[in-house]
Amino acid sequence: MGEAVGLVPARSTPFARRAISPTPPQPTGRLDQVLSSAKPWLTPVSGRPPSLRGKVILVNFWTYSCINSLRALPYLKAWQTQYGGKGLVVVGVHAPEFAFEHDPANVRLALRQLGVRYPTVQDNDFALWRDFGNEGWPGFYILDAEGRVRGYRVGEGNYADTEQLIRKLLAEAGQDIATLPLAPIRPTGIEAQADWKDLASPESYLGYAKAAAFGSPGGIQRDRPARYAPAADLGLNSWDFAGTWTIGSEFATLGSTGSVRFHFRARDAHLVLGGSPDGKPVAFRITIDGEAPGADHGVDVDAQGRGQVVEDRLYQLVRQAGPVRDRTIRITFDRPGIRAYVFTFG
pLDDT digits (tens, 9 = 90+) for 175-224: 999 999 999 998 999 999 999 999 999 999 999 999 999 999 999 999 99
Q: Mark which of 191, 209, 243 sits at the end of a domain.
A: 191
Predicted confidence (pLDDT) at residue 15 exceeds the cutoff of 90:
no
pLDDT of residue 24: 64
Query: Do 261 and 205 belong together in one domain?
Result: yes
Q: Do 61 and 132 form a contact (C-beta atoms < 8 A)?
A: yes
Which of 191, 209, 238 is at the close of a domain?
A: 191
Residues 219 and 164 in one domain: no
Same domain, 128 and 235: no
- Note whether 224 and 182 are same-domain residues: no
Residues 307 and 180 in one domain: no
276 & 175 share domain = no
Q: What is the CATH number of the domain that holds 297?
A: 2.60.120.260
Q: Are residues 270 and 300 in the same domain?
A: yes
Domain CATH code at residue 179: 3.40.30.10
Q: Last residue of some domain: 159, 191, 223?
A: 191
280-322 pLDDT per residue, tens:
999 999 999 999 999 999 999 999 999 999 999 999 999 999 9
Cα→Cα distances 160→30, 163, 178, 183, Å: 28, 5, 16, 10
Total Cβ atoms within 10 A of residue 287 = 17
Domain count, the chain: 2
CA-CA distance, 272 to 339, in Å (whole number)?
Answer: 8
Q: Answer yes or no: do 178 and 244 share one domain.
A: no
Residue 295 exposure: Cα atoms within 13 Å on the Cβ side: 4
Whether the predicted pLDDT of 79 surpasses 90? yes
Same-domain pairing of 277 and 321:
yes
Segments forming the whole domain that contains residue 226: 196-345
The pLDDT tens digits for 2-11 are 344 433 334 4
What pLDDT band is residue 17 in, cutting at 50, 70 and 90? Answer: very low
Question: 336 and 285, same structural domain?
Answer: yes
Please say if the pLDDT value at position 267 is more than 60. Answer: yes
Same domain, 208 and 168: no
Mean of the per-residue pLDDT values for the chain?
91
pTM: 0.91
> What share of the chain in percent tops pLDDT 90?
84
Same domain, yes or no: 149 and 209: no
Between residues 115 and 32, which one has the greater pLDDT? 115
